[in-house]
């Protein structure tokens, strides 16, 4: 019997275990997790900070699932070494677990900037971090969030939603500079201001004190609670110490296999074709490929890379960005609409008749159509305005179940199409929860929930049944 050991029980590791069990009921599976929590949805942690969800609501697998499926789970147990010669992992307490197949899903860790007083701050990466942030927020008179990327914006919005005065500090010239162009970053900052978040860009934090931070130049920003959201780095120490090839991440091929054929790596710790993916959808796609290979369900399975769609998960802020958002009119056809007073910014980047990038900030009714065009590389309709304003033109609207083709991808995180949802409905799933249980749609970032509800409601209406 094949012995599978998974190191890491986060979103990638937990998904791999469940994918393996869906294909093979008998394989011996052991999964180690450094955190004591059961696996949880890290994408939804901003909701925990905001108070709209509690830890139990972001849990991915119930503890009973492991026993019911014959999986040995070791939460709170850290793997400290890989003995490749004898094919076993070594744990912090000196235990050894032999493997035939080893999968590294060690994820990423928060980057802590080398500034004096950094130990006084709290990072925003784990459920334990959320607990610490919430404990401090109960007595804090104000908060400072350092880092204006995706996580920093989500943390700042969550804390502001609790009524705390929040200042968001960012080194770059505008927020979320990896995903947004300068104008979109400006509109986002203005949107956050209306929600109680004061934003400062182009600033350098030199010191973190007991009641705030000091910027380069001497200015002090008050805040009893300081949250660091300065990015993440892949956790690769275990792989490097074992002699596996490591660059930014653990280097893998299209099978997600390292230079040791018995060892795979998936998720945020893995580097595939020079890219380390920091979003959940690629990790889950990689987990499916490895599950196919190690169980023999599909020995031809390969991972070819992912086309990323970034969704911001923050109350009252709708944002989606995909592809090459920074290109200008010198490099491509750019279609843009901005209405700062309403917090709306939309941008399409088109090259050779195909969508290669897009930003939607504010009302995002067009996101379904644009995501399909981007993901499939399909030709862009001649009516560009219809893409930006789907309610005002006759362009095909993906968010309308009537016009959406069955091949349209509804849930990006789990690669679920409208056709799969229809088939699920025809098999008896009459509400979103039943569809989610069967397909996993809505269980990633949750951004597709409205679309799934619309499709289920439309199908019920067509057949004259109650949803």
Q: What is the mean pLDDT of the chain?
A: 90
Task: Give CATH superfamily name and number for 3-109+233-295.
Answer: FAD/NAD(P)-binding domain (3.50.50.60)
Residue matched to tokens 């849930």: 411
Domain residue limits, the chain: 3-109+233-295, 118-230, 318-398, 400-467
Q: What is the mean pLDDT of residues 156-173?
A: 95
For residues 290 and 264, the answer to whether their CB atoms sit within 8 Å is yes
In 294-439, DSSP assigns E strands to: 309-311, 319-323, 333-339, 344-351, 354-361, 409-411, 416-417
Residue 8: pLDDT above 90? yes
- Give the CA-trace dihedral at 195, 197, 201, 204, to 10 degrees: -170
**pLDDT tens digits, 276-324:** 998 899 999 999 999 999 999 999 999 999 988 898 877 788 899 999 9
Task: Give CATH superfamily name and number for 318-398.
Answer: FAD/NAD-linked reductase, C-terminal dimerisation domain (3.30.390.30)
Taking residue 110's Cβ as centre, other Cβ atoms within 10 Å add up to 18
**pLDDT tens digits, 41-71:** 988 898 899 888 888 889 888 889 999 999 9
Residue 399: pLDDT above 70? no
Asked if the domains at 118-230 and 400-467 fall in one CATH topology, the answer is no
Q: Quote the pLDDT of residue 452.
A: 86
Residue 264: strand, helix, or coil: strand
Distance CA 166, CA 148 (A): 12
Taking residue 120's Cβ as centre, other Cβ atoms within 10 Å add up to 14
Residue 224: strand, helix, or coil: coil
> Yes or no: is domain 400-467 CATH 3.10.20.740?
no
Classify domain 118-230 at the CATH class level: alpha beta
pTM: 0.86
């Amino acid at each position: 019997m094949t012995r599978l050991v998974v190191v890491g029980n986060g979103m990638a590791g937990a998904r791999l275990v469940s994918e393996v069990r869906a294909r093979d009921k008998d394989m011996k599976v052991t999964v180690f997790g450094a955190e004591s929590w059961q696996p949880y949805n890290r994408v939804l942690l901003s909701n925990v900070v905001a108070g709209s969800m509690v830890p139990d609501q972001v849990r991915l697998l119930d503890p009973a699932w492991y026993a019911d499926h014959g999986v040995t789970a070791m939460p709170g147990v850290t793997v400290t070494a890989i003995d490749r010669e004898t094919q076993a992992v070594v744990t912090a307490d000196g235990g050894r677990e032999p493997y035939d197949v080893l999968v590294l899903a060690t994820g990423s860790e928060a980057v802590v900037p080398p500034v004096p007083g950094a130990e006084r701050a709290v990072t925003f990466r784990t459920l334990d971090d959320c607990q610490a942030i919430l404990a401090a927020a109960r007595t804090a008179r104000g908060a400072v969030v350092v880092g204006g990327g995706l996580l920093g914006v989500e943390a700042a919005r969550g804390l502001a939603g609790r009524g705390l005065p929040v200042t968001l500090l960012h080194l770059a010239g505008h927020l979320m500079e990896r995903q947004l162009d300068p104008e979109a970053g400006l509109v986002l900052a203005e949107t956050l201001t209306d929600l109680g978040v004061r934003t400062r860009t182009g600033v350098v934090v030199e010191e973190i004190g007991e009641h705030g931070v000091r910027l380069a130049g001497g200015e002090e920003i008050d805040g009893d609670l300081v949250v660091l959201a300065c990015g993440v780095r892949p956790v690769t120490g275990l792989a490097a110490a074992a002699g596996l090839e490591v660059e930014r991440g653990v280097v893998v091929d299209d099978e997600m296999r390292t230079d040791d054929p018995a060892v795979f790596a998936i998720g945020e710790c893995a580097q595939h074709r020079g890219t380390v993916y920091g979003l959940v959808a690629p990790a889950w796609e990689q987990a499916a490929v490895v599950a196919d290979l190690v169980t023999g369900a599909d020995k031809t399975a390969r991972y070819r890379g992912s086309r990323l769609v970034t969704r911001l998960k923050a109350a009252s802020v709708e944002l989606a960005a995909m592809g090459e958002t920074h290109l200008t009119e010198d490099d491509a056809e750019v279609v843009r609409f901005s209405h700062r007073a309403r917090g709306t910014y939309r941008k399409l980047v088109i090259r050779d008749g195909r969508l290669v990038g897009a930003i939607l900030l504010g009302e995002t009714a067009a996101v379904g159509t644009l995501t399909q065009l981007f993901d499939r590389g399909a030709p862009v309709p001649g009516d560009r305005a219809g893409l930006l304003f789907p309610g005002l033109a006759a362009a095909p609207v993906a968010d309308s179940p009537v016009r959406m083709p069955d091949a349209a991808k509804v849930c990006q995180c789990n690669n679920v199409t409208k056709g799969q949802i229809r088939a699920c409905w025809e098999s008896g799933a009459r509400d979103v929860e039943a569809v989610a249980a069967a397909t996993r749609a809505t269980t990633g970032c949750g951004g597709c929930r409205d679309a799934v509800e619309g499709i289920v409601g439309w199908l019920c209406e067509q057949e004259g049944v109650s949803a």
